[in-house]
């Protein structure tokens, strides 16, 4: 079993290395203590799509670079009631197998990331890598609403990027 990252490039604004970002996402999740089996969706979308999501779920106008949507439902074990842990006599005992942990979705807009990369003085690829890691940390409950939290989160982002992000060599 592994940490599964479902990656989808649903935009055409910028060419991206989907495999690179899926691998980075999985590595960051594992380093943050997520154990298999777990699943995350990593979606790259157009500006209009992320703007719609930003308005609908964050009550903010216009496109943004990254949104994270953690799945906050409590896990409900399968099996028979009232013991809820066994499949019944003569059945394969799946109760000893870990259920899939569905962490949520990370949605990134490469077009906005490219604009931000210019402001931050980095490559668009490096900006996307930062957004992947930023999205992972948000899925896992990290936040940056107050300065102390923001500093801690930024330090963790830097550490994860230094450890796991290897930019592709220019062609």
Q: Domain containing 60 — which CATH number? A: 3.40.390.30
Is 171 contained in some domain?
no
Split into its structural domains, the chain has a count of 1
> Chunked in runs of 10, what are the mean pLDDT values of the chain (171 residues)?
94 96 97 93 98 97 97 52 48 58 95 97 97 96 84 96 82 40
Q: In terms of residue numbers, what domain contains 105? A: 3-164
pLDDT score for 150: 86
Is 133 contained in some domain?
yes
Instruction: Tell me if the pTM is above 0.85.
Output: no
3-state SS record for the chain: CCEEEEEEECCCCCCCCHHHHHHHHHHHHHHCCCCCCEEEEEEECCHHHHHHHHHHHHCCCCCCCEEEEECCCCCCCCCCCCCCCCCCCCCCCHHHCCCCEEEEEEEECHHHHHHHHHHHCCCHHHHHHHHHHHHHHHHCCCCCCCHHHHHHHHHHHHHHHHHHCCCCCCC
Is 63 contained in some domain?
yes
Is 80 contained in some domain?
yes
């Amino acid at each position: 079993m592994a940490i599964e990252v479902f990656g989808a490039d649903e935009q055409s604004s910028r060419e991206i290395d989907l495999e690179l970002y899926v691998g980075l996402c999985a590595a960051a999740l594992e380093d943050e203590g997520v154990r298999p089996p777990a699943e995350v969706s990593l979606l790259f979308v157009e500006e209009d799509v992320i703007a719609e999501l930003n308005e609908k779920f964050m009550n903010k106008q216009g496109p943004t670079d990254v949104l994270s949507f953690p799945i906050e439902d409590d896990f409900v074990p399968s099996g028979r009631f009232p013991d809820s842990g066994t499949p019944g006599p003569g059945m394969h005992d799946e109760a000893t197998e870990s259920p899939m942990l569905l962490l949520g979705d990370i949605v990134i807009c490469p077009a906005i990331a490219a604009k931000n990369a210019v402001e931050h003085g980095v490559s668009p690829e490096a900006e996307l890598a930062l957004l992947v890691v930023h999205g992972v940390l948000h899925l896992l409950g990290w936040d940056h609403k107050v300065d102390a939290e923001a500093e801690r989160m930024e330090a963790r982002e830097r550490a994860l990027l230094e450890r796991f992000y290897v930019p592709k060599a220019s062609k």
